[in-house]
Amino acid sequence: MKHFKVIWIVVLFLAGMISSCNSCNKKKVPEVQVEVDTEIIENINQAKKIFYSLPSPLETAMLIKTAGATYNEKLLNPLSNVTNYTTTKSMALNLGIYTTDLSFASLFDQTQTAINYMQAAKKLANGLGILDAIDNKTIQRLEENINNRDVIMDIISETFMSTSSFLKENDRTAVASIVLVGGWIEGLYIGTSLIDPNNLKDNKLVERVVDQKLSLDIVLKLLEENKNNPDVASVYVEMNELKKIFDKIEIKTSKVEAVTDKATNVTTLKSTSKQIVTPEVFKELTEKIRSIRSNFIM
Amino acid sequence: MKKIFSIVLLFIVTLGAFDASAQCKGFAKKICKAALDPYIHDGNFHAAVLTEGEEAELYKTFYSDTEYRIAVCGSEQLPKIEFKVVDANNNVLYSNKEHNYATTWDFRLSSSQQLKIVIKVLTSTTNVENVQSGCVAIMFGFKESK
């Protein structure tokens, strides 16, 4: 008990020092005579920052497009659904879903659709209390740059960064992770919906969908960080069900060799990869993704 | 006593992490994002306040047929930042230490891979009184591979 008092006095003193000195560059380390041993160092190392990075909605949309996707507006989550989303979980999931949809539309130069989806995303961001990430200026900038895809992509990327940083700053990483998962699932849904089940061989879109097995591992780690949040816990269960199907798919990759082109200074990480997936497993995967996405947009 | 000290240190490290985003957003937006040009920023935001000698790790899947730029940026007061890109078998594919601590690296992949980026703030002093801490941001840009 006495030890606890000592800890709290030290902690409060140091916390006060840190919070009152945000702009200070130098850390004044209190002179404490301590015998630092390996156990302490190990504890600090275990606390080192680890980031899990999922493809953002913009990257997801670009990955589908470069794999040969065609634009089909019917695949997007209808705008009329926006009024159905009133819980934190449904707003977060569909903020991610609408952001992927608007990214997808903008990559195919469907700017008016992108603007309409940005309006829906704005509504959900406001509902989640994310202030100023998407404002009327954002919409206005989109309208002014209707024919400039680079600027539009920059606006989308900026908007997503503002949304996720707002959530992180406000200690709402659980919501931020749900937004990302929503966007990622929408990409999988659009990708699998555009695949002809009778034409799986040498299909770039199939390859891209199967590649997501590598990101699913990161999805689970990201959600595990906030598993005590009930919304995250329910999404985690669905992602684990998806994992069971992805586990039936095998990806064999050779050793990676890095080769740099001296003229362009771009390195190519050379390796070969073989994906082993049967039509039955791919069908099961497609159906599971459809069912998860359907639950998300309900 | 050692245990108490260890708990206090862990608390401080955690407290630092909570405050990280707020301090780092402006820095990441102004400095690090600009370093991605002409690549398109993916919109993700990863930043933390690190102290000299501290490490951080980031896991991300990179896809074939896409060209990426990684930008690792540290606040002015920090010493140089070392970053390594490591594959699933722990082979180092790139280390900026061999490239004069460059802050960006451009690459593409012939097949998709999950990679780990390990960053470490170098130490500039042996005097604990002068240990610096500041924001470190990792950002990604992409473009369609030609």
Q: Are the beta carbons of B44 and A53 separated by less than 8 Å?
A: yes
Helices (H), chain A: 2-19, 38-46, 57-66, 88-107, 111-127, 136-144, 149-169, 173-193, 204-224, 230-246, 279-297
Using CB atoms within 10 A of its CB, is residue A149 exposed (0-12), middle (13-18) or buried (19+)? middle
pLDDT tens digits for B61-112?
A: 999 989 999 999 999 999 999 999 999 999 999 999 999 999 999 999 999 9
pLDDT above 70: percentage of residues in chain A: 84
B11 touches chain A (CB under 8 A): yes
Percent of chain B clearing pLDDT 90 (strictly above): 67
Residue B63's CATH number: 2.60.120.380
Q: What is the domain range of residue B129?
A: 2-144
B77 → closest Cβ in A25, A44, A48: A25
Chain B closest-CA separation from residue A263 CA (Å): 13
In order, the DSSP letters of A105-167 are: HHHTT-HHHHHHHHHHHHHHHHHTT--SSS-HHHHHHHHHTTT-HHHHHHHHHHHHHHHHHHH
For residue A43, the model assigns a pLDDT of 52
pLDDT tens digits for A243-284? Answer: 999 999 999 999 999 999 999 999 999 999 999 999 999 999
pLDDT value, residue B27: 84
- Total number of domains constituting chain B: 1
ipTM exceeding 0.95? Answer: no
- Exposed/middle/buried for A249, CB within 10 Å: 0-12, 13-18, 19+? middle
Domain extent listing, chain A: 2-46, 57-249+279-297
What's the Cα-to-Cα distance from A286 to each of A65, A212, A245, A262, rounded to whole Å?
A: 18, 13, 10, 42
**For chain B, what's the residue count?**
146
H or E element: which one contains B17? Answer: helix B2-27
User: Using the 8-state DSSP alphabet, how is residue B132 labeled?
Assistant: B
Which of A99, A161, A204, A273 to probe the B interface (max B CBs under 10 A)? A161
Terminal-to-terminal C-alpha distance of chain B: 60
Beta strand pairing status for B133-144 and B81-86?
A: unpaired
Contact B85, B105 (CB under 8 A): yes
Residue A268 neighbours by CB under 8 Å, 6+ apart: A258, A259, A260, A261, B107, B108, B109, B110
pLDDT tens per residue across span A66-113:
999 999 999 999 999 999 999 999 999 999 999 999 999 999 999 999
